[in-house]
Structure 1
Amino acid sequence: MAFISYSWSSREHEAWVLKLAEELVENGVHIIIDKWDLGKGHDANAFMEQMASREDIKKVIMICDKTYQEKADARKGGAGTEAQIISPQIYQTQDQNKFLAVLSEKDQDGNAYLPVFYKGRIWIDLSDSTNYGSQFEELVRWAFDKPMHVRPQLGKPPAYITKTDATLQLATSTHQRRAVESLRSGRSNSAIILDEYLDKLADEMGKLRLQGSGKKDFDIEVMTSIDEFIPYRDQYFEAITNAMKFGSPMENLSKIHRFFEKIIKYTYPDYSKGGWSEWDFDNLRFISYELYLGVIAIAIRHEEFAFAANFVSEKFYVGDIQDLSSMSMMDYTVFIHSLPSFEAANRRTEQRRITKVGDVLHERAKHTYFEFRHLGVADLILHIRSRVATEGFHQWYAVTPIYMGRSQSAIETFARCRSLRYFERMKPLLGVSSAQEFRERVAEIDANRQNTIPMGFRGDISIASLTGADRIATEA
């Protein structure tokens, strides 16, 4: 129930107020107003005093024009009487949401006509016909205590916050901030500053090395480590996003590539440092894998397909890593590893995930730098490319499609490839020269049952279905 307080400034103003009251009633707001509720011969001052102070009147709408402001400030007339009642309630009441000023008029300079006692408080402007609809909606929402913007439910703090003995501190924040600021401002040396940040991050990531995989529940230590890295991962994604948006992606490609070349060493044993177990590298293997996928996802989001194509085509020098020295150069499959600690976590928690790695990727994709679907497209493209030609000793295995919905239709980016022009931009990233070649390669991959992607209780799904291969480049 809402009471409308206003001044009888003119017949036109009274009609405007009455029309507003009718509109509010039509929208379910019970309105009390003198035109409807003050009978002939009744005491107007007593009515106004009662309406402004009744406990069952939960809302009071003050229609503010020049006359209302003048009478309220001078304490004259009906508006002045109501002001004497309303003003102490505004100052004293704990319910700051009971009273609201609604503007029906502003002065020649566009300033609101507001009583002195209401200065500095929020008001709604119905004086401008161009914004009347949106402002009226806000008024109705206020009447029902249903604001447009609602505070979200408080989530669970991440492990790097709640873990009392968390010690991960990487000295990269200042370098990252300088890189982002230089990219956004378009400085001529932004590529150099970005390179300095990436060098620093690569060096600092050595602090994530774990030891002692023989310990009970070592998988918990691995999961905690990758959670503690989240702030630094997000800083990295922010820097890469700004390099895509404000920098020259192709100019920065070699710097981003060299960053990954430097961190590969952390994913393999350092034989100079004594005993080790394969589990010791699981945290850094996952983090490197996530960062690599993330770069491609960011490029796909911003449709920097030429950058992504060149990025995934670049090989990495691995001759100084003992386990890989015979390879000399490797492609992106160097970031694919079996992660036994993830499988141990899957068993320990009895979650029975089809792919624990995919599950963790999905849970961690809660940031603003790209959507999970972009990560899924990147994952699927690498899956396809690795089965066509690779100089690594692994194949990339897509683990994200199971989390991308139940639809059997093509994923959005591939659906857009129905357009010949869009496909022409995408085909270097897909590693093909024509739509027909893509369809043939997909058919070849699907023919091998080992290449299908499990989708849980939905069974396997073919690459042809995920990509909509039969409709690629079929439209102008």
Structure 2
Amino acid sequence: MDKPKVFISYSWTDQSHQELVKHWADRLIADGIDVILDVYDLSEGDDKYAFMESMVTDPKVTHVLVICDSAYAEKANERKAGVGAESLIISGEVYKKVKQSKFIPIVCEFGDDGKPTLPAFMESRIWINFSSPETENENWEQLVRLLYGKPKHVKPQKGKVPAYVTSEVPIPTSEAFSKFNSLKQALLQNKNGLNHYRREFIEVCITYADNLRVREEPEVASMGEKVLEDCGKLKVVRDHLCDWVLLESEITDADIFSEVLIDVLEKFRELKSKPPEVNPWNESWFEAHSVFVYETFLYIIAALLKSGAYKVLNEIYTSHYLLPSSDDYGPSNFKKFDSFYGYSETLQSVLAPEGQRLNAPAAELVKRQADRGDVPFSDIREAELLTLLMSFLTPDTEWYPQTLHYSSYRNGYPFFIRAAQHKNFLKLAAITGINSADELRDKVKEGHERLDVRRWHNFHFGGNFWSSMNMDELDSLK
């Protein structure tokens, strides 16, 4: 880091003021800043006016601190003595370089009107308050950061154009947000008509997502870019649903909420299928919604874990979901929770680094879109680990844990780690429906064999997930 070089301009008001300025100079030097001060750098026989001019105009001097008190302001305004000459030079530089932040007023006094005491040529400039030891300490970091060019608040890089600007389909941010707020108030105030408020909110979200489903062959140069763009547009619905689950899972009775949530999931499951009126079609047309349903399902699981809705989780994992009529899955009209699994091979072309291949393009997108502070990507991975556990335990289901490609030996999963304690194992038992740790371990081993996880390659921490689920330690502590 380039170190700043600072010249201090001040008035010799009295000995105490000079000592105060020297104290500031010494403190800046201790913070690694090259300080030029007359008491250190002006020797007998030197031309003080030439010294002052050279310091003010020297391009190697990155900043000039102008120590402003009533004496300095008076001499500067009336062009008296050394300060007058010095301020004349400074004011010329200031007026020539209006946008430059080289000259920094340090305010030592305030007038009776409460305004800072500044020379006329600096009245319009942003100043730093050093009028007392308390304000000096309070604002010291601000000054040092300014001198080093490392401000505390940095303007973020310009992002992409919002989807609601480029999309021909309106983003439902305002409408869904409004419906969610109405639902929130109905829940918190125990209003009548809760079903109505909830239904309106869900319908807005579903309608928006359905409008993004492809119904005729897309005229695009890159299908991967199309899938990526649509996933970005659908993220707002993911967040609305996550907010809803976080809220209502802590308020509504578990039995009632389970039934509501299963109905909502069934409706959202339909979104990953082709619309019944579409024929012919290509699988890639519906990959954006396939990833959206997969991602949203993991966010819902993570939200339920966060709110402690273990009974609801059990219902989610043990229920059967009616398949859309456009799906052809054989004689059965129902499928288990693995119906919400989704992937996208098309995203490989737009997300994989040049010359490389991603193990799970959908997981890479989920990772990139994991921008929630309350439900971070680590929570999503834990939700997927729980879903994998339930797949081990549930016959006729299969779940490939895509986001766990981003786990490592160092990653711990708090819910599973805590399940070493009996009271926390009971939470896992409520989800799985298995009350014995030994029985759970036996069934997980059976699930490993059934799913043949040995064929799953490229997981950095090994492929059996046994240690990630803390299997050996479950229910081992009081």
CA offset digits 1:144-191 (Å, max 9, x no partner): 323344455667x489699xxx75514623312314555787874696
In the alignment, the residues of structure 1 paired with residue 76 and residue 434 of structure 2 have an alpha-carbon distance, to the nearest angstrom, of: 76
For 1:210, the equivalent position in structure 2 comes to: 214
For 1:21, the equivalent position in structure 2 comes to: 25
In the alignment, the residues of structure 1 paired with residue 432 and residue 78 of structure 2 have an alpha-carbon distance, to the nearest angstrom, of: 76
* C-alpha contact (below 8 Å) 1:48/1:82 kept by paired residues: yes
Aligned to 1:210, the other structure's residue is in SS state: coil
In the alignment, the residues of structure 2 paired with residue 17 and residue 453 of structure 1 have an alpha-carbon distance, to the nearest angstrom, of: 72
Check 1:231–1:7 CA distance in 2 against 1; reply closer, same or farther (3 A cut): farther
Deviates more, 1:71-80 or 1:221-230: 71-80
In the alignment, the residues of structure 2 paired with residue 232 and residue 69 of structure 1 have an alpha-carbon distance, to the nearest angstrom, of: 60
Number of equivalenced pairs:
465
For 1:397, the equivalent position in structure 2 comes to: 400
In the TM superposition, what are the counterparts of 1:57-456 in structure 2 within 5 Å? 57-73=61-77, 75-93=79-97, 96-105=100-109, 112-127=116-131, 129=133, 132=136, 135-151=139-155, 157=160, 168-170=168-170, 172-179=172-179, 181-182=181-182, 188=189, 193=197, 195-210=199-214, 220-221=222-223, 223-233=225-235, 235-243=236-244, 249-251=250-252, 256-271=261-276, 273-300=278-305, 302-306=306-310, 309=313, 312-313=316-317, 315=319, 317-318=321-322, 321=325, 323=328, 327=332, 329-336=334-341, 341=346, 351-366=356-371, 368=373, 370-389=375-394, 393-404=396-407, 406-407=408-409, 410-418=412-420, 422-425=424-427, 427-429=429-431, 431-433=433-435, 435-446=437-448, 450-451=452-453, 454=456, 456=458
Q: 1:261 Cα deviation (Å)? A: 1.9
TM-score, normalized by length of structure 1? 0.79
TM-score, normalized by length of structure 2? 0.78
- Segments of 5+ residues of structure 2 without an aligned counterpart are none
In the alignment, the residues of structure 1 paired with residue 122 and residue 331 of structure 2 have an alpha-carbon distance, to the nearest angstrom, of: 79
In the alignment, the residues of structure 2 paired with residue 338 and residue 306 of structure 1 have an alpha-carbon distance, to the nearest angstrom, of: 27
Deviates more, 1:10-19 or 1:278-287: 278-287
Q: 1:381 Cα deviation (Å)? A: 0.7
Cα RMSD for the two superposed structures: 4.3
Query: What amino acid is aligned across from residue 395 of structure 1 in structure 2?
Result: E
Q: 1:198 Cα deviation (Å)? A: 2.1
Check 1:398–1:453 CA distance in 2 against 1; reply closer, same or farther (3 A cut): farther
In the alignment, the residues of structure 1 paired with residue 272 and residue 350 of structure 2 have an alpha-carbon distance, to the nearest angstrom, of: 20
Deviates more, 1:379-388 or 1:203-212: 203-212
Deviates more, 1:362-371 or 1:178-187: 178-187
Aligned to 2:65, the other structure's residue is in SS state: strand
Q: Identify which of 432, 456, 460 aligns with 2:462.
A: 460
Q: 1:408 Cα deviation (Å)? A: 5.3
Check 1:224–1:67 CA distance in 2 against 1; reply closer, same or farther (3 A cut): same
Identical columns (%)? 23
Query: What amino acid is aligned across from residue 95 of structure 2 in structure 1?
Result: Y
Aligned to 1:100, the other structure's residue is in SS state: strand
Query: What amino acid is aligned across from residue 200 of structure 2 in structure 1?
Result: E
In the alignment, the residues of structure 1 paired with residue 107 and residue 454 of structure 2 have an alpha-carbon distance, to the nearest angstrom, of: 64
Q: 1:54 Cα deviation (Å)? A: 3.2
Aligned to 2:177, the other structure's residue is in SS state: helix
